Structure 1
Amino acid sequence: MPRITKEDKARNRQNILEAASRMFRSQGIDAVGIAELMKEAGLTHGGFYNHFASKNELAVEVCGASYAASLAVLAQAIEDGPDRAGSPLERVVADYLSTAHRDAPDGGCPSASMATDAGRHSETVQSAYAEGVEGYLTSFTAEFLREAEEKNHELDPAEARHRAIRLLSEMVGALMLARAVCHVEPELSDEILQTGRSHALN
């Protein structure tokens, strides 16, 4: 039997992470068995423990990696600055509360897709989730302060932080509600998204 190279091992580990990221977000951590996960990754069941000590360890990495990708998108939107579609935060809200994001629970921001799981799982999973939430809040706060300075408006950093918490809470809550009813009440789901897009930054 040929030996597995370091490159093969790294590729297999990445395949597991990517499969777990999709499955944990769309189905929930507890609903995904290791055998099912490894099949999705194109690997054998027994190979899991060559890469991760437990499903909890994998969940922590998935949460961290998912947030890293999501926050990178946010950072790019802020760096790009205003355009015809609006300010960076206006574009972020529009993308977050879009039907495309709603209809792809296996991707996108883990704030909504992993919220319930984070609260039910270990402190290490909760810590990874909290770190991601803090990343959003820090970016939102900085952007609120930057916008205020650009307009020569006074904005206390504590108030900017409060606005950031409210914005993230409204975005995540609206997306979770829209996903929860989209199959049985699609018009209500669309209405929730539309209302969220219209009022999140008011």
Structure 2
Amino acid sequence: MGRVSRAQAQENRQRVVATASRMFREKGTAVSVADLMKAVGLTHGGFYKQFDSKEDLVDEAIAHAFAEQAAHSTVALEEDAGEHEAARRALIEDYLSVWHRDHAGDGCPVSGFAADLGREPEQATRAQHAYINGIRNRAARLAIGDDDGMAQLCTMVGALVLARATRGNPISEELLQAARTALTKSGTGKSEPQQRTD
């Protein structure tokens, strides 16, 4: 079997990071390297040609998740067009949707990685920069006037985590609806979004 070209190796690495980003948000960072590489369609041994450790991959997966969300956000496009309140409401509706509840692998990295980083202090320290910037940027998208958006983000993340934990019971949708109502009733003013840190 021939050697993998440099371009192919880079493409393989990107596929591993993207797949890890989804799998870690969906199943947690306890996903094994063997299961991850199987999902990508590469050998277990190939992992160590690309990454020094699984911890390094987790760091990259977190950074990738935030970058991917920022790049594909319709909310960001609306903000660029100067429609902060419309963007804020769209973010709340999308975030607190049944689809988002049911698709953690494609969802927000703030909620997707929170439990694992809370359990793994060393990983949390390594991933802090990307994760904290992600939190601040999400909160800035929710900011209205003197409200920096942090409490709103906490409400959204908490409601989503609780809705995922109770999926299959009517309370799951009730939790999402209660948070949507609370956040859209309280936020009717318009303001410019706060400065982002990335």
- TM-score, normalised to structure 1, is 0.82
Cα distance in 2 for partners of 1:94, 1:80 equals 19
Counterpart of 1:114 in 2: which secondary structure? helix
8 Å contact kept, 1:38–1:48: yes
- Output the CA distance in 1 between the equivalents of 2:100 and 2:40: 23
Q: CA-to-partner distance for each residue in 1:63-96, whole Å, 9 max, x for gaps?
A: 111111223314224224559xx71111110011
Deviation, 1:15, is 1.4
Q: Give how far 1:52 is off.
A: 1.0
Distance in 2, Cα, partners of 1:179 & 1:80: 33
1:137 maps to a residue whose letter is: A
Tell me which residue corresponds to 2:189. none
User: Partner of 1:71: helix, strand, or coil?
Assistant: helix
Is 1:195 the equivalent of 2:178? yes
Is 1:167 aligned to 2:167, yes or no? no
Contact 2:26–2:104 (Cα < 8 Å) also in 1: yes
Gapped runs of 5+ residues in structure 2? Answer: 187-198
Counterparts of 1:117 and 1:77, CA distance in 2: 32
1:37 aligns to 2:22 (yes or no)? no
Asked if 1 retains the 8 angstrom alpha-carbon contact of 2:88 and 2:141, the reply is no
Pairs within 5 Å for 1:113-192: 113-121=112-120, 122=123, 123-141=125-143, 144=144, 155=145, 159-161=146-148, 164-183=149-168, 185=169, 187-192=170-175
Q: Does 1:65 align with 2:64?
A: yes
Bigger Rg over Cα: 1
Aligned length: 180
CA distance in 2, matches of 1:80, 1:100: 26
CA contact (8 A) 1:80 1:88 kept: no
Q: In structure 2, what is the Cα distance between the partners aligned to 1:104 and 1:111?
A: 14
> Could you tell me which residue of structure 1 aligns to residue 16 of structure 2?
16
Residue type of the alignment partner of 1:197? R
What is the identity, as a one-letter code, of the residue corresponding to 1:92?
L
Report the Cα offset of residue 9 of structure 1.
0.5
Quote the residue 1:149 is aligned against.
none
Task: Let me know the Cα RMSD of the aligned residues.
Answer: 1.8
- Residue 53 of structure 2 corresponds to 54
Distance in 1, matches of 2:81 and 2:101, equals: 24
Identity rate, percent: 37
